[in-house]
Chains A and B, each alone.
Chain A
Amino acid sequence: MDVAKQGAARVGDDPLNGIDMAEAGSVTVDTHEAHGHEAHHEQSFWSKYVFSTDHKMIAMQYMFTGIVMALIGGYMSYAFRMQLAFPGESVPGYGLVSQGEYNALVTNHGTIMIFWVAMPMLIAAFGNFLIPLMIGADDMVFPRINRLSYQIFFISAVVLIASFFVPGGGFGGAWTAYPPLSANAQYNLTPLGATFWIVAVALEFVAFLLGGINFITTLMNSRAPGMKMYDIPMVLWMIVIASILFMASVGPLIAGAVMLFMDQVIGTGFFDPNRGGDPILWQHLFWFFGHPEVYVVLLPAMGIVADVICTFARKKLFNYKLILFTVFATGIISFFVWAHHQFVAGIDPRMANVFTVTTLIISIPIAEMLFLYIATLYGGSIQLTTPMLWALAFIAEFLIGGVTGIFLGASGADIYFHDTYFVLAHFHYTFFPIAIIGFYAGITYWFPKMFGKMMNEALGKIHFWGTIIAFNCIFIPLFILGAAGQHRRIYNFQNFPDLAGLQDMRVFATMALIVMLAFQVVFLVNFVMSLIKGKPAGKNPWKANTLEWTAESPPPHGNWPEGLPNCYRGPYEYSVPGREEDYWPQNAPPDTAPAE
Chain B
Amino acid sequence: MPDDALGRPYQVPVKREPLLPNGVMGMLIFVATEVMFFSGLISAFVIGKSNAIGGWPPPGQPRLPVEETAFNTAALLASGVCLYFANRAFREGAARAKGLLLASILLGGFFVLFQGAEWVALVREGLTLTSGQLGGFFYLIVGTHALHVVAGFAILLYTYNKLAHGDLSRFTFWPAQIFWYFVVGVWPVLYWLVYL
What is the interface of chain A, defined by CB distance below 8 A to chain B?
1, 6, 10, 14, 21-29, 141-142, 145, 209, 212-214, 216-217, 220-221, 223-226, 247-256, 258-259, 262, 266-270, 275-278, 281, 284-285, 288, 566-568, 589-593
Contact = CB atoms under 8 A, between A and B. Distances in A.
Contact of A254 (B2, B20, B24, B37): B37
Given A21-B22, A142-B22, A591-B5, 17 more contacts: A1-B2, A23-B21, A26-B15, A141-B22, A141-B26, A142-B26, A214-B26, A220-B18, A220-B19, A225-B12, A225-B14, A225-B16, A251-B37, A259-B140, A262-B140, A285-B44, A593-B4
27 contacts: A6-B12, A23-B169, A24-B21, A25-B18, A27-B18, A214-B26, A217-B29, A220-B19, A221-B25, A247-B36, A251-B36, A252-B40, A253-B40, A255-B37, A255-B40, A258-B144, A267-B129, A268-B136, A269-B133, A277-B48, A278-B47, A278-B48, A284-B43, A589-B2, A589-B10, A589-B12, A592-B4
Nearest to A29: B15
Given A22-B23, A212-B29, A254 B12 contact: no
A262 to B, nearest CB: 7
B33 A209 contact: yes
What 3 A-B pairs come out closest when comparing CB atoms?
Answer: A226-B13, A252-B40, A251-B36
Contact of A247 (B6, B33, B44, B130): B33
Given A6-B2, A225-B14, A590-B10, A281 B52 contact: no
B133 A276 contact: yes
A6 B1 CA distance: 11
B22 A25 contact: yes
Given A24-B21, A593-B8, A248 B32 contact: yes
A266 B130 contact: yes
Interface string B70-94: 0000000000000000000000000
A281 B47 contact: yes
Nearest to A249: B36
A442 B12 CA distance: 32
Interface string B85-123: 000000000000000000000000000000000000000
B44 A281 contact: yes
Contacts of B158: none
Given A247-B29, A278-B51, A255 B44 contact: yes
A442 B133 CA distance: 49
Contacts of A21: 22
Contacts of A209: 30, 33
Contacts of B137: 270
A230 to B, nearest CB: 14
A23 B133 contact: no
B32 A247 contact: yes
B41 interface: yes
Given A225-B13, A281-B48, A251 B34 contact: yes
A44 to B, nearest CB: 29
B185 interface: no
B15 A225 contact: yes
B53 A276 contact: yes
A220 B25 contact: yes
A250 B24 CA distance: 21
A591 B44 contact: no
Interface in B116-165: 129-130, 132-133, 136-137, 140, 144
Contacts of A592: 4, 6
A266 B143 CA distance: 15
A46 to B, nearest CB: 27
Contacts of B3: 1
Given A268-B129, A285-B44, A591 B36 contact: no
B35 interface: yes
Nearest to B10: A590
